[in-house]
Amino acid sequence: MCMKNKIVVLGQRGEPIPAVNGGAVSTLMQLLIEENEKEGFLDLIVISSYNYEAKIKSSKYKRTKFIYINEDSIILKIVFHLLRDLGKIIPKLRKCINTNYLWQAYCYLKKMKDIDWVVVEEGKQILGYWQFKQLPMKTAYHSHLYEIPDEFPLYDRIITVSSFCSKPWLRFFSSSQVKVCCNAIQEYFFSDSKNEKKRESLRRELGYTDNDILVLYIGRIKAIKGVRELSQAVLLSKDNRIKLLLIGSSEFAGSKITEYEEYIDKLAEESNGRIRHIGYLPNQEICNFSKISDIQCVPSMGEEAAGLVAIEAMAMGLPLIVTKSGGLVEYVSKECAVILERNDDIVNNIKNAIEDLADDTAKREKMGKVGKERAKQFTRKEFYRNFIKTLED
């Protein structure tokens, strides 16, 4: 890392950087920027969706240049739509970059000189990146999902968040072209969580007693996340000490309540206080609820790309119950997490795992300590160093 790398990060459309509106990818890129302020190994340019608050906040970073794309510009909208309409007539233009955001980013990139890499942070593969192949710098796609590649992906390198997510890409790329860079979490999750007085006070405020075993779920309230199965498991248990606290909404802040979320809320209403759903909260507030909990559950029914919420739980010293889901199991270990198969017995198996931990304080404490130590592999510094390594030849 002696030589300074010149890198452009192309942020996700609609997710401003710095992460003033939240968003997992924007937050991760903010961690990269913040660590670069300390380490300085990158000559960094960030292209981001425009946001006034983000632009103000960006001024504090001295080692990163920010370029903000305003898709609301009327003149640029007209030019882009003319190009797109011409594509209906001229075959060569049909493959034109298909969003205003990408088109403006491309216009900036083709003027840049001496750039080593542009790292594309879009959440899904987007038509139009073929045009980026004409740029003088190499292109890396930072995939944050488990996805099946297009038939002819046009990137020079793929960065994934787990080995599980790398496998589909190996159909088109050599192992030297597909790199894994694990996610990281904010530093405040590593803060001391042993303030018993504050814990007891917040528990009482929420109506929980010292004897209650509080199971925490953090994430989207969606069928694929296994919230129904977890709720049913808690209600199935005859141990009335066991309570479930759900934090999250169908998507993110301000998202509409879905039919599934209404179903979960009805379960909570009829649970006689055993289930509580408090909706979406920003990460800083979530920490307080982690501190008062005894167990955290990640009961995903689909294939998770990685395990961000699991890292946060480990850093907070919480024992985990997780399903054997994609890249999630690469982030945890059997010493700090109960790992369950996703099968027809999942509700009963979650119930048994919760009851087992509820009855064994020593086991919970031991798992929590192992988890806190393991979480140190996923710090901002580790992510920064690994991110740079993925772009080395």
3-state secondary structure 153-201: CCCCEEEECCHHHHHHHHHCCCCCCEEECCCCCCHHHHCCCCCHHHHHH
What is the pLDDT at residue 352? 98
* Spatial CB neighbours of 246, under 8 Å, sequence gap ≥ 6: 217, 221, 227, 231, 264, 268, 275, 276, 277, 278
Owner of token pair 């005894």: 294
Helix, strand, coil percentages, rounded to 5, for the chain: 40, 15, 40
- Angstrom distance (rounded) from CA 155 to CA 146: 17
Peptide bond into 319 cis (omega under 30): no
Q: Which residues on adjacent β-strands are paired with residue 252?
A: none
Residue 201, number of CB atoms within 10 A of its CB: 12
What is the pLDDT at residue 84? 62
What is the pLDDT at residue 245? 97
What is the pLDDT at residue 91? 59
Continuous segment of H or E residues that includes residue 295: strand 295-298
Which structure tokens are listed for 130?
């073929």
* SS3 label, residue 84: helix
In the chain, where are the structural domains located? 5-180, 187-377
Give just the sign of the alpha carbon dihedral 113, 119, 122, 124: positive
* SS3 label, residue 150: coil
What kind of architecture, by CATH, is found in domain 187-377?
A: 3-Layer(aba) Sandwich (3.40)
Which structure tokens are listed for 357?
């931990």
CATH class label, 5-180: alpha beta
What is the pLDDT at residue 275? 97
* Spatial CB neighbours of 211, under 8 Å, sequence gap ≥ 6: 241
For residues 277 and 268, the answer to whether their CB atoms sit within 8 Å is yes
What is the pLDDT at residue 281? 85
- Angstrom distance (rounded) from CA 75 to CA 55: 21
What is the pLDDT at residue 128? 59
Q: What is the pLDDT along the chain (393 residues), one digit of tens a residue?
A: 545 789 999 999 888 999 988 788 999 999 999 999 999 999 999 999 999 999 999 999 999 999 999 877 666 666 666 666 665 655 555 555 667 888 889 889 999 999 999 999 975 555 557 777 788 899 999 999 898 887 767 789 999 999 999 999 999 999 999 999 999 998 888 876 556 777 888 889 888 998 999 999 999 999 999 999 999 999 999 999 999 999 998 876 666 789 999 999 999 999 999 999 998 887 778 888 999 999 999 999 999 999 889 999 999 999 999 999 999 999 999 999 999 999 999 999 999 999 999 999 999 999 999 999 999 999 999 999 999 999 997
Same fold: 5-180 with 187-377: yes
Q: What is the pTM of this model?
A: 0.87
Q: Which residues on adjacent β-strands are paired with residue 43?
A: 6
- Can you list the alpha helix ranges (DSSP code H) found in 252-307? 259-269, 283-291
